[in-house]
Structure 1
Amino acid sequence: MITTMIVAVATTLTPPGGDDLAAFRSYRAHLAAAEKALRLGEANELRRWLDDAPTVHRDWEWRYLRDVSDTTLETVAIDTPATGIAVAPDGATVATIEGDRVWLRDWPSLSPRRVIDGHAGPVYRAAFGPGGDRLITVSRDVTSRVWDTATGEEIARITLANPAVAAATLGPGGAAATGAWERDEEGKVHGVVWIWDPATNAVRFRRRIGIKPLSSLRFTPDGSHLLAGSWDGLVHVLDATGVEQRVLRLPDEGVYNAVNDIAISPDGAIVAAAAKDRTVRIFDIETGGLIATLRGHGDHVEAVAFSPDGALLASGARDETVRRWRVADWSEFDTLRGHEAAVRGVAWTPAGDRLLATGRDATVRVWDGRTKQTPHLAIDTGTDGTYSALFAPDGNMVAVTCFDGWLRTYDTRTGAEGVSWEAHPGASCHGAGFDRSGTRLITCSWDQTARIWSMPSPTLIATLDAGAGVYACALAPDGKRAALSAGHLQIWDVEAVTTLHRIELPGVSVTRVVFSPDGTRVLAGGTDGIARLYDAETGALVGTFAGTGSRIEAVAFAPSGTEVLTGDAAGVVRLHATSGGPAQFACVTGERGVNHIAVFGDRVAVATDRLWLLDRRHGETVLMRRPLTDTAYHLSWSADGQRIAIVSANGTLALLGREKPGPGTFGP
């Protein structure tokens, strides 16, 4: 596979050489191929490219893409590839179809409790009755059987006409329906429906339906109608006796559109038909009108199921994904990845809090039934706009500064809003920063002040009167000094609430400020395209770092404190040694200017109109994503380097990454 990656243009002045550079370039190529597989919806290919990537360079972006490929909450291995799954009405039992057997499993452990064993061929379908005490199956052994779920014993059966495609379901009145196909005297194929009584094995009605095998049967919730999906691209609407009332015809788009599965909404008004033409078609059962066509799957859609509240529809396909759709407008809700082979069955728990899927990879996978499964936790702050997002040092909370002067905090696991307060009444809250302990927080504003707060219960302990609007601020790691950009640079003694240094540059405004990791120096960006390094104790200038001449919009220290990074309005990120000399690399991140830079280890996160992730040692892009619909305005790393908080000007906060490495999913 030949792949390309949209990358930042980099000039690396002192590149690592030899084998390391070759391994890094190989790593980037593997990431590019993985990202292409992600865009194409090829989750298995995505995982394969990631698994083959050189281990020495794997970092945050590798974990991020790996977790995008698997968003499951839980994965349980089963004995053989499965062809279907069902959940009992009381939610206590899950049935998985595995070869010629059906396993009844305890929920939520999914531990095997009992096996339904007796068929002499593969089981095609299994469905619980309304009371959950009965299970109907249909098999290639030309029988359909009803079983006691408490004992696993067979209690009824009928013999069918043909061992091929078949379907079965139990109705609310206790009736059983089984579908298959047969040939007439002239050799023509017909679908056949048997409506029969499991108590007596008596067939009440036997109807020929259509001219192709029937693949799926469902009773409406009130039992008044039976719907049958056909390989002729039809859904037949039958009354309770099997007499056809109307036919719902899937549009012919020149692709084989056999129906693989159908699902009826909880209110009995609509039916969803999963088809081999990669679509799910939505019909009004009463009128027969086509309501919507759902597109997105890359291969045959094998299974569909409505959530118990009717708000979502889940579809599983051969493309190894499960997709969920909003019933309100039929837009896609999310794509669930994790399966490594075709998905053959999907089912919701009765409470709707979990969605289960199974398939040819011999696993049952579980997702949250209500929460959108994305590789980040998205939070709408409900404000007109946000300026910055900073993780508290313990990683449990992120603080967001807002246009309306408020500082809002959010739980990083659940996204719930925590303590929030109006830090700067009547003005905007431009910036903020924690000390290393997390017990002090600084905020700043155009109201010409910076304020120091005791945390976690915000108590104002000092107000720094800058005499001009404060554009950016920072606290030293020990919380004893503060740096402000108020047109000029100010360095404050927080304990004494006095200015230590006021450093003015003729014709130049200070744009951004940051303390070194040890708190002894302050780096300040300027509108003249130069970043200047000052001694925090004496205020002496100890270094300058020139760029393109464009306004410096972002400044940061590398963790060692021996390197600094700058980002400017031209979109260029530069790395300099604090000891002096030319830039070690200059990386153009696109046509938009840099809004912010944050560094963890060898990774440099850059906010422009999107998120860029650079390798600090090589000066090259390793990942580019758009987690927000608007421009990325500010970002920060959690103290453990596992998560990135990023905000946009439209008031959206996104938390990317998970709390700790290992199996699991992002967010709560």
Structure 2
Amino acid sequence: NFPEPPTLLEEFPDRAQLLELNEVILKACESDLHKRYRSAEEMYGDLVLLQGGKSVKRLRVVERRLAVLTRVGVLTAFFAVIASGIFYETNRQRRIATRNLVRLHVANGTRLVNEGDLFGSLLWYTEALRLDAGDPRREEPHRIRIASVLRQCPKLLNVFSHGDRLYNSEFSTDGGRLVTASDDYTARVWDVATGQQLLLLQHDGEVQDARFSRDGLRIITSGRDKTARIWDSRTGVLLQVLKHRDTVWNSCFSPEGGLVATACQDQTVQLWVTATGKPLGKPLQHQGNSPRVTFSADARLLGSATGNGSACIWEVASGRKLGEYPHTTDQTGLAFSPDSQRFLTCEGSNLRIWDAATFKEVSFSPIKYPSIMDFSFSPDGRAILTASDEFTAQTWDAATGRRLFSPGVQHAGPITGAQISPDGRSFVTAGNDAVARVWSTVTGQAVSPPFKAILMIKQAYYNADGRRLLMKSCDQAARVWDLATGDLSGPSRTPVENEQRLISPSGRLLLCGGQSNTVWIVDTETGQNLAALPHKNGVVYASFSRDGRTVLTASEWDTDELFLWEAPSGRRLNTVTMTATYRVLYAAFSQDNSRLLTCG
């Protein structure tokens, strides 16, 4: 047995060292091998430490803490490495997912561009740009795509509103002004370019109709205050008040402006002398409420029509009724051809074409079309346009009554109004689906993106040069759109040429107009010009083939010359001159890209 240490250790000044020495001896004599010193050197080290006046116990505490900290550090480092790996992999997967999503957005945008929905494509392209924000190299191709689409997009010039319901709106002949009629008891004249109100024309009741004279110098308004009023369109001075016994629904000037015709709720139509405001002859009795009136282009005939009964033809000079015909479309009145040789009436699903000299139907009349809502001649008289309550519109050859394309163009609701452009090459439709759209008269292909309003669009009109559209909707607003678009446009560019496939199907290549009649093939990823396609004359059409390997361009001179180019190298493919005897409006490659169809 080991001797007991002194019992009164407090009396020893080095009692702490004695206790630690005792612990060293106990550890050296420990029966458990795992608790005993592993070697004499280890015991010697502790004795030397004690001899030097240091504490072995304190050292062991420090060593244990250091061991714990070491283990904690190792574990922390281990988990940090694992976390870093997970973070890196997560970020890598996120980047891959983002790039895949960007590609999907670009593909969707490109698909909509090729389908003609330019406005819709911008939503996808701008979202792709947002996902790549902060990376200038990746942002650039998105900005190129967006800029290219914006160059082609029609632009909203102005929105016009009274703050109340609009009954009618119309361009002046020069297209620079707009007149609107509202239930706020006023008609107003606006500057189309600036949106500024120029004139306020006051009635004592709701204003149902407002129209310019052909020379643009006068305006006639019709209202529930039982008057039609003639105004100076430049100063707003009231020139004449035409009094009636009931609401005046509709009025119009004769082509030369010397007469006006008004249609009253009391089932009468009245002719008036514009300069004096005096009636010309007796009221013309027309069975049915709210007739619509229109003059023939030669001012020889006046047509009146109601939606619940009949259409009448009157001789302007004598006031004599020359004919009466069934008419059941309340959306539009009788329509004369531009040469005044024919006129149209509608009875249910039958559009009837009449000879204005004999007042008999032409040989191919009637044209069968379901639930006709609106109809009109083209400005050159060579085509007829019909719009249906069954969501479709169709153009017809006015000489034969045959369809110009099939099937008819489609909306998602009844088509409430339609009009052919002044050059006859396109037409606009407006519908209950709150959408208006421009289409090719010949092919029926969409040549504009859909124009969308908040509520149904009642009517859409071209201005005199066909470069602007006026749309009147049920959201108390009239909107004017500028259709002039694109870097590939020449001086006589028209909306129908928006049908070009300017972005390749893959979305990697873009056609951009340059200086000196050059078209550039551009890499949308880098923004770099890959190849120049030179032309001697202005380029009026350009598009990619279905596989994106061929570019078609059309250069205008006396006839359109066609060029085929390899993409993206820009190598000329056709060595034989290809010409079209018409201006190319649209081109389509066959499925295998071996054949080409053009039309104009």
Larger radius of gyration: 2
* Greater relative contact order (Cα < 8 A, sep 6+): 1
Task: Output the TM-score relative to the length of structure 2.
Answer: 0.49
> Which structure shows the bigger proportion of residues in strand conformation?
1
Task: Output the TM-score relative to the length of structure 1.
Answer: 0.44
